[in-house]
Structure 1
Amino acid sequence: MLDAPRPDEAIAEWRARFRWQIPARLNIAAQTAGLWAHQAPDRTALIHVEEDGSRKVFSFAEIDRLAGRLAAGLLHLGIGRGDRVGICLSQSPEAALAHMAIYRIGAIALPLFTLFGPEALAYRLADSGTRAVIVDPGRLDALMSVQADCPDLARVIVTGPEPVPAGTIAFDRLIRDATGTPPAILDTAADDPAVIIYTSGTTGNPKGALHAHRVLPGHLPGVQMPHDFPPRPDDLFWTPADWAWIGGLFDVLLPAWAMGIGVVSQRMRKFDPEAALRLMATERVRNTFLPPTALKLMRGVPRDRVPADLTLRSVGSGGESLGSELLDWGREVLGVPINEFYGQTECNLTVSCNQRIEPSPPGAMGRAVPGHEVLIVDEAGQTVPDGETGEIAVGAPDPVMFLRYWNNPAATEAKFRNGRLLTGDMGRRDADGLFHFMGRADDVITSGGYRIGPAEIEDCLIRHPAVAMAAVIGKPDPVRTEIVKAFVVTAPGVEPSDDLARALGAHVRDRLAAHEYPREIAFVTELPMTATGKIMRRVLKQREATIGD
């Protein structure tokens, strides 16, 4: 935990006195619902708001009790320590219970975005060797369509109304039928694996970042810094970010519960900025993580339609640097400064700002969060002088750092140099210790708050019979930061057309995810290639920039 500076304490002294206190034995379930079920059993853990406005409120004692019964059900199904269990659910009580139950028995959680198409699901499930998936009825058909391609997938657990289809297991019944004393939370080591979160594929397929139980306490300073040092009385967290991504799960849900703070959840089929503002006002949300795209869309809501009774205490945002206009809007309309932070799936929340104690100018992400060593390095992995541009790196070991990529030792080895994790992002540090994001060293596309890898989309496109070759880049966009744009060489005898472009977009959307489909498609006769046959995406980006100018 990161304490706020004392009134008479210099910031440098405050930073210097921080020390990690990570116990050798810990379990995420024990550090969250399990802890507060004993210390404050009646305290609100989760407020779930349905689309019609109805609410369900769960105490920490209820979450712990139900998670214990679900854990017993998973054990009865033969799921145990080290087994991978997929969670293909939106923000919901069922998703939160699934995480608690999986950690409780020492299994490994695999969050899966509910908008993933069959191919995206199949790759992640097969690569991870997932044994069971907890899924909502809306995604069941997509999951069942690829079960044959996932040889380890033996159990499919379905939430929602009963009865459930043959060959599947009802989530509610699994809890209801659990008998006897729930299993105790497994005694796990801090370095035991807890969760796999797949990253965006850039030069290949997505990689599964395997994190240990220590990742939760490793996140806490990076959550407390931008949220002005919770817990405070009446703190209550919410984010529109899905819990399938590290931002929703480890920036909000699990850290909030580790601090004994309640969380608001809601299934948002599509982000509605006005509805989001109303939700925060109605539920009296005090702390929120709002991705940059959400903030930009909220800024478009007319002032007379912004609720006057917002009670926000802190707003954090990460994914890209925010401009002065958006920061000024936040202070004026939301009533609080927007504190920026930086991280990635493999090593999250290592840079942040807190405008109250360490003001940062627009364009700066902030300073290294206490406990993390963040540097700018050259191609040899050596630290560069302040003011020079290089790659952002993080010193190892670090509690928030991933263990390894699942089944990918070569990629794991390439991620480190000279004992430092390489983020793949370019930046610089100024003389005041402030970090500035300069761009991506790889080709990841940032769109609508998602980090999207081009390789998976390109692979999907070339599976279409009308496509011979494809390259994907991010095209700058004022709302989404970037949109996915594809350059397509058609197969012999196939004529480019608007109908074909629409068909290719639908092809990607239906197989991968709605946020990954190319919103623009340009048909070309050839793609720029290196001598070794690699697509030169940077050339396409340069061409796009020239056209934009």
Structure 2
Amino acid sequence: MNKPDLVEPRNFNIVSEIEKYAKDESKVAIIFEDDAGEETKVTYADLIRKSNRMGNLFKQHGLKKGDTLLIKMERSIETYEVYIAALKLGVSLIPASEMLRTKDLQYRITHGEVDAVLSIASGADEFEGVNEYDDLTKFIIGGQKDGWVDVDKDVQNQSDELEIVDTDRDDVAFLPYTSGTTGNPKAVVHTHGWGYAHMQMAPKHWLNIHEDDIVWATAAPGWQKWVWSPFLSTMTSGATAFVYNGRFDGTKYLELLQDYQINVLCCTPTEYRIMAKLQNLDHFDLSHLHDAVSAGEPLNQEVVEKFQNTFNITVRDGYGQTESTLLIGLLKDVPGRPGSMGKAIPGSDVLIVDDEGQPVEPGIVGNIAVPVDLPALFKGYFKDPERTQERVAGDYFLTGDRAKVDEDGYFWFEGRADDIIISSGYTIGPFEVEDSLTKHPAVKETAVVASPHELRGNIVKAFVILQDSYEESDELVRELQNFVKYDVAPYKYPRAIEFVEELPKTNSGKIRRVELREAEIEKYNHEHE
């Protein structure tokens, strides 16, 4: 398999790779279905025209190259328009999940030096408490709010023509935030050049997207995975993006796959697990599906076998990070090996190194790493050179995960080098949950770890030492869970809480989360023997 050329022209804008498909007036860009079953289709030509109107609205309100726009949107056609419009103007984008509360928004707005925010109406109230509220330019979609630009109304008066601003491959395109084991979330700097490198790797060598395919990638906006698959991989391939903005239900997902004759599916291990457990799985016709992939955490082998036996389709795992693009995966025409992560994606140059950054021999466990000058790697953590340098050893960037590679080039995952929790595809830093819990008057001390779960891969579990004046109870568990939900975000709350008398610590007083995590794994394995 030939190694792709990841270095783009010096002057490059991501949107140019999408806009070229607008020459065909009939080419469908997006098929959208809402929770009520209403369907909407939009062509590439119409998508670009609508995006141009959006861009001109942004320009009217002062947004220009080098500015930063924070976006809080749901799965919708408008989300694609907003991204295309901002990128055409050279405006950097900060994706923000619908579930983020004021505290998380405040940090991103201040740290990210945000100039404007755009939100769906149902999420706009969370911005009211931020310090910069009156100084921000604020756009709202799907409603009205005092002090906010009504996009639905004002965009109609804009021109549908807009030139792409002259951007350099090193200009910042995206600034997604990713959780760390300690401290605040880190802002990952991705340029237009990174986008180009991603286009040469993931859609061609892992997703296996063809131009006339219908692609359903279920990731929600607000996460870098949405930028990866529903947006860049699909749109720059000239394929049709299928978008469903409804509640997850295994049966509904299978009906949509069947009825819309989806060709490529990308969803989380949790979604695959729930579908695989349905009794009537073989009632559905997925014969149009030629590729199905999973990312975020390893997928259970029994789920892979279930889809293989029922639909004759191999669900292929992929491994990457917010800081990079896809690095390792079970490639389309490469025989899989049960339990293996797969092989290096062409162009990733991924390998295993020791803690000093020296490559190790096959079979030796070390750090998953890539060269620091890899085009598909981020340019560093925004305003945080120290944290960037912490991840570098020699000439390599360390992903924070450990694995080994065999003589045939297959990678075998060994575990996380840090304490990041991946639950149902969400990346959660234990520090954020611990910090929230310790604000509650009942909590004296806490440690948060990943606990294995049959459907979610892992759940967030908190070990809590109570203040002397409090007693453990089911009511207190619910109170603590709701406290975190509303203080941080609903997807971060601890689904399990265990009250303990003490926590394992090192001689210097640091909590040994690894000890708690390993005990959870051992308990889970014992219960599932």
TM-score class, shorter-chain normalisation, is over 0.9
My pick for the range that moved more, 275-284 or 418-427, is 275-284
- CA distance, structure 1, for counterparts of residue 66 and residue 133 of structure 2: 17
Is the contact made by 1:193 and 1:211 (CA closer than 8 Å) also made in structure 2? yes
- CA distance, structure 1, for counterparts of residue 244 and residue 488 of structure 2: 23
Gaps of 5+ in 1: 1-13
Query: What is the Cα deviation at residue 61 of structure 1?
Result: 1.0
* Counterpart in the other structure of 1:350: 327
My pick for the range that moved more, 438-447 or 133-142, is 133-142
| SS of the residue 2:107 aligns to | helix
- CA distance, structure 1, for counterparts of residue 339 and residue 250 of structure 2: 24
Gaps of 5+ in 2: none
My pick for the range that moved more, 454-463 or 169-178, is 169-178
* Counterpart in the other structure of 2:168: 189
The correspondence of residues 78-97 of structure 1 with structure 2, limited to 5 A, is: 78-97=62-81
Closer, same or farther: CA 152–185 of 1 in aligned 2, 3 Å: farther
The correspondence of residues 6-17 of structure 1 with structure 2, limited to 5 A, is: 14-15=1-2
Deviation per residue, 1:403-451 (Å, 9 max, x gap): 1111211111112221211100011100100111111000011111112
* Counterpart in the other structure of 1:298: 275
- CA distance, structure 2, for counterparts of residue 151 and residue 408 of structure 1: 25
Closer, same or farther: CA 343–68 of 1 in aligned 2, 3 Å: same
- CA distance, structure 2, for counterparts of residue 434 and residue 305 of structure 1: 32
My pick for the range that moved more, 428-437 or 150-159, is 150-159
* Counterpart in the other structure of 1:332: 309
Is the contact made by 1:130 and 1:153 (CA closer than 8 Å) also made in structure 2? no
- CA distance, structure 2, for counterparts of residue 114 and residue 178 of structure 1: 27
The correspondence of residues 60-79 of structure 1 with structure 2, limited to 5 A, is: 60-79=44-63
| SS of the residue 2:448 aligns to | strand
Query: What is the Cα deviation at residue 153 of structure 1?
Result: 5.5
* Counterpart in the other structure of 2:157: 177
Query: What is the Cα deviation at residue 245 of structure 1?
Result: 1.6
The correspondence of residues 86-235 of structure 1 with structure 2, limited to 5 A, is: 86-144=70-128, 146-148=129-131, 150=132, 154-161=136-143, 164-179=144-159, 182-220=161-199, 221-228=201-208, 230-232=209-211, 234-235=212-213
Query: What is the Cα deviation at residue 251 of structure 1?
Result: 2.4
Deviation per residue, 1:46-102 (Å, 9 max, x gap): 111111111111111111111111111111111111211111111101111110011
- CA distance, structure 2, for counterparts of residue 152 and residue 334 of structure 1: 54
| SS of the residue 1:48 aligns to | strand
Is the contact made by 1:199 and 1:207 (CA closer than 8 Å) also made in structure 2? yes
Query: What is the letter of the counterpart of residue 276 of structure 2?
Result: R
Query: What is the letter of the counterpart of residue 99 of structure 1?
Result: Y
* Counterpart in the other structure of 1:408: 384
Query: What is the Cα deviation at residue 317 of structure 1?
Result: 1.1
- The aligned length equals 524
* Counterpart in the other structure of 2:218: 240
Query: What is the letter of the counterpart of residue 450 of structure 2?
Result: G
* Counterpart in the other structure of 2:240: 262
Query: What is the Cα deviation at residue 216 of structure 1?
Result: 2.1
Query: What is the Cα deviation at residue 474 of structure 1?
Result: 0.5
Query: What is the letter of the counterpart of residue 140 of structure 2?
Result: V
| SS of the residue 2:15 aligns to | helix
Deviation per residue, 1:184-222 (Å, 9 max, x gap): 111111111000111122122111111001222212322
Aligned residues: CA RMSD: 1.9
Closer, same or farther: CA 18–75 of 1 in aligned 2, 3 Å: closer
Is the contact made by 2:328 and 2:341 (CA closer than 8 Å) also made in structure 1? yes
Closer, same or farther: CA 299–495 of 1 in aligned 2, 3 Å: same
* Counterpart in the other structure of 1:25: 11
Query: What is the Cα deviation at residue 334 of structure 1?
Result: 3.5
Q: Determine what percentage of the aligned residue pairs are the same residue.
A: 31
* Counterpart in the other structure of 2:443: 467
- CA distance, structure 2, for counterparts of residue 353 and residue 546 of structure 1: 28
Query: What is the Cα deviation at residue 539 of structure 1?
Result: 2.0
Deviation per residue, 1:477-515 (Å, 9 max, x gap): 111111100011223422232211111100111222222
| SS of the residue 1:26 aligns to | coil
Query: What is the letter of the counterpart of residue 514 of structure 1?
Result: P
Is the contact made by 2:7 and 2:193 (CA closer than 8 Å) also made in structure 1? no
Is the contact made by 2:202 and 2:233 (CA closer than 8 Å) also made in structure 1? no
| SS of the residue 2:138 aligns to | strand
* Counterpart in the other structure of 1:7: none
Query: What is the Cα deviation at residue 125 of structure 1?
Result: 2.2
Query: What is the Cα deviation at residue 152 of structure 1?
Result: 8.4
Is the contact made by 1:241 and 1:248 (CA closer than 8 Å) also made in structure 2? yes
TM-score by length of 2: 0.95
* Counterpart in the other structure of 2:474: 498
Query: What is the Cα deviation at residue 309 of structure 1?
Result: 5.1
| SS of the residue 2:220 aligns to | coil
- CA distance, structure 2, for counterparts of residue 511 and residue 306 of structure 1: 43
Deviation per residue, 1:227-280 (Å, 9 max, x gap): 33x325x41111221132222221232121111111011223x42111111112
Query: What is the letter of the counterpart of residue 22 of structure 2?
Result: A
Is the contact made by 1:476 and 1:482 (CA closer than 8 Å) also made in structure 2? yes
1:367 equivalenced with 2:343 (yes/no):
yes
Is the contact made by 2:318 and 2:341 (CA closer than 8 Å) also made in structure 1? yes
1:487 equivalenced with 2:466 (yes/no):
no
Query: What is the letter of the counterpart of residue 79 of structure 2?
Result: A
1:279 equivalenced with 2:256 (yes/no):
yes
- CA distance, structure 2, for counterparts of residue 478 and residue 244 of structure 1: 26
| SS of the residue 1:329 aligns to | helix
2:21 counterpart (36, 47, 65): 36
- CA distance, structure 2, for counterparts of residue 225 and residue 453 of structure 1: 30
Is the contact made by 1:242 and 1:249 (CA closer than 8 Å) also made in structure 2? no
- CA distance, structure 1, for counterparts of residue 520 and residue 313 of structure 2: 37
- CA distance, structure 2, for counterparts of residue 143 and residue 25 of structure 1: 36
Query: What is the letter of the counterpart of residue 174 of structure 1?
Result: D
Query: What is the letter of the counterpart of residue 253 of structure 1?
Result: F
Is the contact made by 2:257 and 2:286 (CA closer than 8 Å) also made in structure 1? no
- CA distance, structure 2, for counterparts of residue 260 and residue 315 of structure 1: 18
Closer, same or farther: CA 19–108 of 1 in aligned 2, 3 Å: closer
* Counterpart in the other structure of 2:512: 536
